[in-house]
Amino acid sequence: MAAAEQLIQMEYSEIMQKSYIDYAMSVIVSRALPDVRDGLKPVQRRTLYDMYELGIRYNQPYRKSARIVGDTMGKYHPHGDSSIYDALVVMAQDFKKGMKLVDGHGNFGSIEGDGAAAMRYTEARLERITQEVFLGDLDKDVVDFVPNFDETEKEPSVLPVRIPNLLVNGAEGIAVGMATSIPTHNLGEVVDGVIAYMKNPDMSTKDMLGIIPGPDFPTGGIVTNKDDLISVYSTGTGKIKLRGKVEIEPVKGGRTDVVITEIPYTMIGAGIGKFMADVYDLSEKKLTNDIADISNQSSKDGIRIVIELKKGADVENFCNLLYKKTRLEDTFGVNMLAVCNGKPETMGILPIIKHHVDFRYELATRKYTNLLAKEEEKREIQEGLIRACDVIDLIIEILRGSKDTKMAKDCLVNGITDNIKFKSAKSKKDAAKLRFTERQATAILEMRLYRLIGLEIEALMKEHDKTMANIALYKKILEKKSEMTKVIIKDLNEIKKLYERPRRTKIENVSEAVFEEKPIEEQDVAVLLDRFGYARVIDIPTFDRNKETAEDECKRIVMCKNTDKLVVFSSAGMLHMIKVLDLPMGKFRDKGLPIDNVSGFDSSKEEALYIEALSNLIGRQVFFGTRKGMIKSVTGDEFDVARKSAQATKLSDGDELICAGVLENTDTIVLHSDKGYFLRIGLEDIPVLHKGAAGNRGMKLSKDELMKEIYILHQGDDIKAKSGSTSVALSRLHIGKRDGRGTKR
């Protein structure tokens, strides 16, 4: 009989909470964050281990990246090939890592943001440091191996990395609700820091920064806030301010070139292109007139971005402008978050080094425990062979008299002589006294006769002496922590000697860049807006020469100062501010720039109803009329706001603004409904309200009746409106009262 079904009732919220927490922890621990011990994320660890298993050594031929990715995905990391290849690419990029872990052959991308070639075109192999420092002790059983995802293979839970890779290569990763951002550091300095900590575990963060002064980025550059680093490295969080390296090169004709030879680490990728675009914009927005040309002359030899300045340019002020307005000076946000004992933890530099040192002691303990066991095994066998050489005639007699291997082995181990034929009773008596161990007996039975040569016996004795010396050494290392410390320090110094390289990033205290902006020469201009929403600025003489053409072709012409702001009122009841200086100034036939690009206006969702200079609105009344017949006027001073976009008038659901404009003292308003009703009212009937108000009803409307048009009628205007087949002259309508029904025409 089948077992009865059990129904378990749970709150839906509890199930969702538990499931989300499980998912979040899986992403945090198994995907996004590095382990504090080896400084690697799981995908990096698995990729390197797979290359080690495939035998792709630094001194062996390269192998296809696709082979590495496929093997890693099939055996250890079943999360898609792109994540594995991306990890492989980053480990092969010397401009992202303090020390490359993979030797890439082919196109592995560039510092300027070019992507790597497809995995089928590139090849890779392990770097020497990866093979020797990261994977060298894997065969000594120093780390635990765990089942892979389908339990068909074993993989290391952590790699036996002998340097604090978390500091040397840094880390970046986004998990669920948290992210890590650890800068790269200089290998030699980090090794010195670890050695200093091992000698004095009570040292302070300030003491450590005397050895590891701060980050060492592969792109070089300058850290400008040295005094802030104590806080950053104590807490594990903070900001590091970076600058690119600028060199000043005089050229012929008394001009000067500003040459960027090192960039901030944060500019890796598309940042260089963005920087050049930002420099170009400085000239377009008239923030500087000193730029003659800009070119990117970077090559495999390094970064070289050349900005040619005009004769007489203030070079120092221009460099300060670059620091203030471009990413040549940038901020690197530090959050030293890593997985520690299975949990995410934010750590300062000392806890990171402490965890590494503890890990090194653990590795060394397991390593020398295993080596000692192997040496003890060798000693046992060697002592058996040496003893066997002394009684070799008896052993040969036992072997010749035995019927099988078991009989001979029983005699060697336990002294059992039954059924063995001896030449004499003395031999049998001597054989009964033999007490070799199982391992010694096996070695004796497998021993070849050439080992009986005198020189071979002498070599065996020397080998035994060496084994005994190793046993004494390993016991000494395991019994005394001070001896183990010496061994680890010696190993660290050897690693430093082999792989150390000079520091690339300078660490200084630099005062904040001060840019003295030259005052803009104020002038009268005309802003032209065409029917496609493109705006451009021309000077008044150019406008005067093309006035008729401009009035025919342009939707709106605004006369103002070049230092003024434009206010755009849209059908969505919004106002959008545009600096006139943000619009391109040029020739009459220049195309201009969409107002969407320089404001919060979105032409796909709203229509520009009215554009006016802010200075022309101050002290005047601005009228608003909506599709549902709500009207009001607002004092123009209310539109002098700091934000790029703000509410100009409140709209009810389904309503839209259909009329906006400045009112003159003699103006009247005409409301025209879609059912043919007209109502003309004077200024005294228009309510003056704030911009946040919805307005008052202008005309009584029947059910489903809406405003077709609302007109601002200036004195002398001769505007006619169509109502069915009738043409209505608006200036001849009688002036009525607000909220009336009006007359039908």
Q: What's the token pair of residue 486?
A: 């010496």
Distance from CA of residue 532 to its chain's centroid?
39
How far is 159 from 696, CA to CA, in rounded Å?
74
Q: For residue 186, give the nearest of 447, 439, 504, 649 by alpha carbon.
A: 504
Longest dimension (CA), the chain: 150
Q: How many CA atoms are closer than 13 Å to the CA of 383, on its beta-carbon side?
A: 13
260 backbone φψ class: left, alpha, beta (φ>0; ψ -120 to 50):
beta
List all residues 6 or more positions away from 271 whose beta carbon is below 8 Å from its beta carbon.
Answer: 113, 263, 264, 327
How far is 641 from 626, CA to CA, in rounded Å?
23
Count of Cβ atoms closer than 10 Å to residue 377 Cβ: 12
Q: What is the DSSP letter of 132?
A: I
Do residues 102 and 126 make contact, with C-beta atoms less than 8 angstroms apart? yes
| Amino acid at the residue 557 | I
Q: For residue 633, give the nearest of 687, 692, 711, 703 by alpha carbon.
A: 687
Q: What's the token pair of residue 143?
A: 């780390």
Count of Cβ atoms closer than 10 Å to residue 334 Cβ: 22
How would you label 534-556 residue by residue, b for 16+ Cβ within 10 Å and e otherwise? bbbbbeeebbeebeeebeeebeb
Task: Say which of 20, 52, 76, 121 is annotated catalytic.
Answer: 121
| CA–CA distances in Å: residue 227 to residues 43, 186, 323, 330 | 36, 19, 20, 17
| Amino acid at the residue 639 | F
Measured between alpha carbons, how far apart are the two ends of the chain, in Å? 89
| Amino acid at the residue 559 | M
121 is an active site residue: yes
* Long-range contacts, stretch 408-417, CB < 8 angstroms, 24+ apart: 408/445, 409/441, 409/442, 409/445, 412/436, 412/440, 412/441, 412/444, 412/445, 413/437, 413/438, 413/441
Q: Where are the beta strands (DSSP E) in 210-342?
A: 222-223, 237-243, 245-250, 256-262, 291-296, 305-309, 329-335, 337-340
Output the CA angle 131-195-162, nearest 5 degrees: 20
Do residues 534 and 527 make contact, with C-beta atoms less than 8 angstroms apart? no
| Amino acid at the residue 503 | R
Beta strand 657-663 with 621-626 is antiparallel
| Amino acid at the residue 474 | Y
How many contiguous H segments (helices) and E segments (strands) does the chain have?
20, 36
How far is 670 from 683, CA to CA, in rounded Å?
11
For the chain, the residue count is 745
List all residues 6 or more positions away from 457 whose beta carbon is below 8 Å from its beta carbon.
Answer: 386, 389, 451
Point out the residues that are catalytic.
121
